[in-house]
Amino acid sequence: MKIISINAGSSSLKFQLFDMDSEKVLASGLFERIGIEGSLYTIKYNSEKIREEIELANHTDAVNILLEKLIALDIIASLDEIDGVGHRIVQGGDKYNKSVIITDEVISDIEAFKDLAPLHNPAGLLGIQAVREVLPDVPMVAVFDTAFHQTMKKERYLYPIPYAWYRDYKIRKYGFHGTSHRFIASKAKEILGRENIKVISCHLGSGGSICAIENGASIDTTMGFTPLAGIMMGTRSGDIDPSIIPYIMEKEGKNASEIIDDLNKVSGLLGVSETSSDFRDISKGISEGNSQCLLAQEIFIRRVVAYIAEYYVLLNGADMIVFTAGIGENSLDVRGKIVERLSCLGIKLDESANDSRGEIKKISTDDSSVLVYAIPTDEELMIARDTLELVQNG
Ligand code: AMP
């Protein structure tokens, strides 16, 4: 069985084609600058990589070219080999607690949730519509970032604001990165060989969130009504005092959406370091004595540690803390420093084990009170697995 997982952005389309018997990636790639001058695509397969500038007027063009290339490059013999297509959809509201086969009703729900995810859901719909046009008979599945967090209890997902805002406008914590946290939960279960485990999953990428997981279910997570909440991120502030917004609106003569844009795009590591949103640049800056970079890293670490501590208490102890995504998988220094700050809980870093990237690795000592692991996440595989399961079993 062959499944394509798709992550569509407003002007991009990322894909992976899986052979689900072996869960091997047969091809992966990215279509960029869709609808913009200078559009191009990259496809990787076997050990080859092709890159071509080509006009892509819309997402349908991208899907058409993708399928054409898969055949031309002999990756598949015909379109009949595609058994299903899974789409990453950011916001599934409080209606979807798991992945679903895409029907007209699902499409209109994703459309309706646009209000809650104005940047992301419309992009997901572009991907769905493009595949529907090109492969009308192939089943498609929606995999929601929010679905995994639907197990949170009301006292965890409600904000202490007028209850009518929740009742009338559905203002609540939704949480995101659910597909990654679910992948980590399943890996932790595999590693420990039992179901009833408590895991603190730290997805530290350019976007980041932490999730408290008990018995395979999310009980709390740091992102909120939108992905702007929680820990400090590459360009996003994470949690701040909301009174800052009207104050800075007046000081800078901006409107609320311009300030939210600043909190999303020029805050976080970039905002504090005044150098870069990329942790590699922050680390380089620190090694060159840049004090703003050091400050940015310090705030980042402090905020991650604070949430791990909160979730440790919420879970009444933890079996495993996991680091994943770009920073969690690769920045040995940052994850080492985070673990060191947890020493008051009896959590101990194994420094030599921490010298590892790109593999599942225990990085805590044998006498650490909690296991600490680095685990590479794989959201695309999760999307493909859900798609296969629904295509086969409905
Ligand atoms: P992601 O969004 O998961 O792709 O993660 C992107 C983040 O991971 C960026 O801040 C990168 O700087 C960071 N990252 C990737 N590789 C490394 C590395 N080798 N060392 C430190 N940070 C890294």
Give the confidence band of 337 by pLDDT, cuts at 50, 70, 90.
Answer: very high
Beta bridge partners of 44: 28, 49
pLDDT of residue 118: 83
> What's the 262 CA to ligand 1 centre distance in angstroms?
22
Is the CB–ligand 1 distance for residue 331 below 6 Å?
yes
> Would the CA dihedral through 107, 110, 115, 119 be positive or negative?
negative
Q: Please say whether the beta carbons of 67 and 80 come within 8 A.
A: no
pTM: 0.95
Q: Is the pLDDT of residue 307 over 90?
A: yes
Is the CB–ligand 1 distance for residue 356 below 6 Å?
no
Q: What is the spatial distance between Cα 116 and Cα 107, in angstroms, rounded to a whole number?
A: 15
Instruction: Give the residue numbers marked as catalytic.
Output: 145
> What's the 118 CA to ligand 1 centre distance in angstroms?
26
Is the CB–ligand 1 distance for residue 285 below 6 Å?
no
Residue type, 21: D
Reported residue count of the chain is 394
Of 283, 268, 279, 379, the residue nearest 328 (C-alpha)? 279
> What's the 331 CA to ligand 1 centre distance in angstroms?
7
The CA-based dihedral angle spanning residues 326, 331, 336, 337, taken in that order and rounded to the nearest 10 degrees: -100
Provide the token pair at 366.
């044998």
> What's the 382 CA to ligand 1 centre distance in angstroms?
21
Q: Is the pLDDT of residue 204 over 90?
A: yes
Of 88, 102, 98, the residue nearest 132 (C-alpha)? 102
Testing ligand 1's pocket by substitution, the residue of 279, 293, 335 carrying the most ligand atoms inside 8 A of its CB is 279
pLDDT of residue 394: 78
For residue range 246-300, what is the model confidence (pLDDT) as tens digits?
999 999 999 999 999 999 999 999 999 999 999 999 999 999 999 999 999 999 9
Provide the token pair at 299.
């705030």
Q: Which residues contact 344 (CB under 8 A, 6 or more apart)?
A: none
Q: Which atom of ligand 1 is nearest to the CA of 277?
A: 10
pLDDT of residue 116: 87
Helix axes 291-314, 332-340, angle to 10 degrees: 50
Of 54, 142, 140, the residue nearest 95 (C-alpha)? 142
Q: What is the spatial distance between Cα 371 and Cα 266, in angstroms, rounded to a whole number?
A: 35
Q: What is the spatial distance between Cα 1 and Cα 84, in angstroms, rounded to a whole number?
A: 9
DSSP string over 32-85: ESTTSTT-EEEEEETTEEEEEE----SHHHHHHHHHHHHHHTTS-S-GGGEEEE
Task: For residue 281, count CB atoms less than 10 angstroms from its CB and return exposed for 0-12, middle for 13-18, buried for 19 or more.
Answer: middle
> What's the 306 CA to ligand 1 centre distance in angstroms?
21
* Residue in the structure block whose two tokens are 């929680």: 230
Percentage of residues in the chain having pLDDT higher than 90: 98
Is the CB–ligand 1 distance for residue 232 below 6 Å?
no
DSSP string over 154-199: HHHH--SS-HHHHHHH--S-----HHHHHHHHHHHHHHHT-S--EE
Q: Is the pLDDT of residue 115 over 90?
A: no
Strand order in the sheet with 24-32: 48-53, 40-45, 24-32, 13-19, 2-8, 82-89, 140-144, 100-101
Is the CB–ligand 1 distance for residue 206 below 6 Å?
yes
Q: Which residues contact 126 (CB under 8 A, 6 or more apart)?
A: 8, 10, 58, 59
pLDDT of residue 254: 98
Is the CB–ligand 1 distance for residue 234 below 6 Å?
yes
* Residue in the structure block whose two tokens are 């999953």: 201
**Residue 174 C-beta-side C-alpha neighbours within 13 Å:** 24
> What's the 204 CA to ligand 1 centre distance in angstroms?
8
Give the confidence band of 119 by pLDDT, cuts at 50, 70, 90.
Answer: confident
Give the confidence band of 165 by pLDDT, cuts at 50, 70, 90.
Answer: very high
Closest residue by CA, ligand 1 atom 18: 330
- Could you count the other beta carbons within 10 Å of the beta carbon of residue 34? 24
Q: Which atom of ligand 1 is nearest to the CA of 357?
A: 19
For residue range 36-90, what is the model confidence (pLDDT) as tens digits?
999 999 999 999 999 999 999 999 999 999 999 999 999 999 999 999 999 999 9
Is the CB–ligand 1 distance for residue 327 below 6 Å?
yes
Closest residue by CA, ligand 1 atom 4: 326
Most distant CA pair in the chain: distance in Å? 61
Q: What is the spatial distance between Cα 51 and Cα 33, in angstroms, rounded to a whole number?
A: 13
Testing ligand 1's pocket by substitution, the residue of 177, 206, 301, 378 carrying the most ligand atoms inside 8 A of its CB is 206
